Amino acid sequence: MKLLPRAATFAAVTFCAGALANAATLNLTPLPQQDSHGNAMVQPIPGQEQNALPSAPVPATQSAVEQQDGAEKTDPTPEYASLSDAVAAQEDVAALEDDRELHCLATGVYFEARSEPLSGQLAVADVILNRSTSGRFPGSVCSVITQRGQFSFVRGGKLPKAPENAQWRRAMAVAQVARKNLWESPAGDALYFHARYVNPNLGRATVATVGNHIFYR
């Protein structure tokens, strides 16, 4: 769906400090592999008779079994029956006030596609995310949005403030779905889009037409 896996993309990805050995952490820097079972070497006891019968195995307690099983499991990616369900399941806007990159992404969705269907809003979000990881555009969402001459709603390199209404809350939810890669986007790896009523003659391969926008790579 994306140019690079979306989980490793984003500058706003939260790193888990002091993670347990059995926790699934999202880290952009490779770490040395560790023994997930925490096995310790058993040293022989001095003076122990070599012919002594082995002691009976001690059954593992339920908690120990659960801990061992947990070390091999990761939290599954939530599955949704529809894009609408995925959007509805996202966090409330108030809980994400300090996430600047998400706000920039949602601002792009709001001003470029707020009247589009959810699939069209997701496609616009994915173009912005694709640009930020392509190496051909600035490397952060906010920088992609404010890049000169790219988005007409940007004035003087500054983003306008969206009204706190239902359309803004939906744009924030769509931005979360896109960033978490929770739903397949019809835009795929597109890097460009424009409204259907204009013909800029980009000379690029068409990826999809969604709502009122045509997407290219």
Domain boundaries, the chain: 77-216
Superfamily for the 77-216 domain: Cell wall hydrolase SleB, domain 1 (1.10.10.2520)
Question: What average pLDDT does the structure give for the chain?
Answer: 77
Q: Where on the phi/psi map is residue 135: left (φ > 0), alpha (ψ -120 to 50), or beta?
A: left
Please provide residue 68's backbone torsions phi and psi, each rounded to the nearest 5 degrees: -65, -45
List the one residue out of 194, 196, 192, 108 whose CA is nearest residue 205.
192
> What integer pLDDT is reported at residue 17 of this predicted model?
38
Report pTM.
0.64
Residue 186 has pLDDT above 70, yes or no: yes
pLDDT single digits (tens) 35-89: 444 444 444 444 444 444 445 555 555 544 444 444 444 444 568 999 999 999 9
Model confidence at 25, pLDDT cuts 50, 70, 90, reads very low
> What integer pLDDT is reported at residue 68 of this predicted model?
47
> What integer pLDDT is reported at residue 12 of this predicted model?
39
Distance CA 134, CA 217 (A): 11
Structure tokens at 14: 């939260």
Q: Compute, in degrees rounded to 10, the torsion defined by CA atoms 115, 118, 122, 125.
A: 30
Model confidence at 97, pLDDT cuts 50, 70, 90, reads confident
CA end-to-end span of the chain: 13
